[in-house]
Amino acid sequence: MTFHKILVPVDFSECSRRAYAAAVTLARQFGGELLILHVINNRELELLAEIGSLKGDALEKALRKRARLKLGAFLSNPPADLKMHRIVLRGIPFSEITKISRREKVDLIVMGRYGGTGELEKIFFGSTAEKVVRMASCAVLSIPLAESGSRRPAS
């Protein structure tokens, strides 16, 4: 199995930074290209519209600009030896991730397992990573957030 096109959804967390690092290693190993995706979550957009002074198109434009800036900072030192594309979309993260993976004929999705949603929501609805694993038409590599401290040896 080879991975020529690798999708890396990022939410700018440490976990997505680890997933990005793993994807870079895999892309180098397989001579692949990276698609770096950030999804502006519809629910967050709705909440910000309720409490903020910006509404509608102005709010979405401001959030897209902020996302592009954060993506630029996240990828501040991109590997010169890899082909890389940046994508910013708006929607429901797991849905947009799986849609873009199909549209772009992605071979592998590399994503962090830790997300920004609350624990209660995960209990009832599952995490974004879990939904992507269930819905994706390609392989998915889920990278956990490293535990602090040392790991216990397996018994």
pLDDT tens-digit series, residues 45-82: 776 666 666 667 777 888 889 899 999 999 988 889 99
Q: Poorest-confidence range of 57-61, 89-93, 141-145?
A: 57-61
Sheet strands (E) in the chain: 5-9, 33-41, 84-91, 108-112, 139-143
Asked whether the beta carbons of 115 and 129 are under 8 A apart, the reply is yes
DSSP 15-40: HHHHHHHHHHHHHHHHT-EEEEEEEE
Tokens read off for 105: 């004929």
- Over range 6-31, report the average pLDDT: 94
pLDDT value at position 82? 94
- Over range 18-30, report the average pLDDT: 95
pLDDT value at position 59? 78
Tokens read off for 10: 């990022």
pLDDT value at position 153? 41
- Over range 130-146, report the average pLDDT: 89
The strand pair at 108-112 and 139-143 is best described as parallel
CA distance 65 to 40: 11
Over 70: is that where the pLDDT of 121 sits?
no
Report field, pTM of the whole predicted structure over 0.85: no
Kindly list the structural domains of the chain, giving each domain's residue range(s) and its CATH number in brackets, ordered by start. Answer: 5-143 (3.40.50.620)
Tokens read off for 66: 């902020």
139-143: strand order across its sheet = 84-91, 33-41, 5-9, 108-112, 139-143
